[in-house]
Amino acid sequence: MGVISSLMHNPEPLGTVDDILRPAGDNPVLERGFVTTSADTLINWARTGSMWPMTFGLACCAVEMMHAGAARLDLDRYGIVFRPSPRQSDVMIV
């Protein structure tokens, strides 16, 4: 258990990771319907639960997403499930 805990190190304290989606105060960016953030903040937020990316791909990126979801890499084992709708997904990989 100790080895797994050290591998899953989360540098942000619990409770502050969700702040990228619900920041305190008025945020005009959220009124537009999208959020901009850094990759580190997104990864720390995704560690709090299973990430559900949107099934969205153009050209070579779609092929890489299909390979990641196929039997060899099988992202379902890690709780990453591709969703067909933006309403059901947490992340859109562009």
- Does residue 86 have a pLDDT over 50? yes
Query: Between these two residues, 41 and 30, which has the higher pLDDT value?
Result: 41
pTM of the shown model = 0.40
Q: Please, which pLDDT band fits residue 28 given cuts at 50, 70 and 90?
A: low
Secondary structure letter of residue 13 according to DSSP? P
Going by C-beta distance under 8 Å and a sequence separation of 6 or more, which residues neighbour residue 10?
Answer: 17, 44, 47, 48
